Amino acid sequence: MVNYLLMITAELENLTDLQPQGGCDDPNFSYYFKLKCGNCGEVTQKETCVTFNETVPSAKGKGETHLSQKCKFCSRDGTVSMITGRGRPLTQEQAEAGKFAPLMLFDCRGFEPVGFLFGSGWKVESLAGTKFNDIDLSGGEFAEYDEKGEVPVMISNLRAKFDVVK
């Protein structure tokens, strides 16, 4: 069992608190990433979607998991389970310092998550207090004008990584 913590960062212009629409533990937020087999090293061709409110029975019959699948190359079983309570929004201070914020913890057995894709369903707040909801980051950036603060706002240079945690 290895736990992987999804870490994100971005350049936030006049913005703070980048996070999924329903908060860091949003049960409806979809995480898209590829999986690397722990046995043969094969990486899935397509991204896998994992959502907290969708579970499947574990292949080994011990409870439920958020994803259970076989490696297409070596047929080894693997699972991915999500562990809530570890995520925090990406703040302006962290972004300016080039630091990453934790988003979600994944318990992976037989697979390693790689290549997280930013998609839709994000929210962020301007430094003047304007809330921007249902942001789609699949294009790699978001740009708008904050009328309250009378400044342009922007999310760009999105980056993500999976850190192994004990």
Residue 23, amino acid: G
User: Pick from 88, 35, 87: which is nearest to 66 by CA?
Assistant: 35
CA dist 112 and 7 (Å) reads 15
Q: Which residues pair with 18 in a beta bridge?
A: 90
Please give the pLDDT value at position 60.
Answer: 67
CA dist 5 and 8 (Å) reads 10
Please give the pLDDT value at position 100.
Answer: 98
Please give the pLDDT value at position 123.
Answer: 98
Please give the pLDDT value at position 63.
Answer: 84
User: For 142, which DSSP code?
Assistant: E
DSSP code per residue over 10-44: EEEESEEEEEETT-TT-TTPEEEEEEEETTT-PBP
Question: For the chain, which ranges sit under pLDDT 70?
Answer: 60-61
Please give the pLDDT value at position 61.
Answer: 67
Please give the pLDDT value at position 164.
Answer: 97
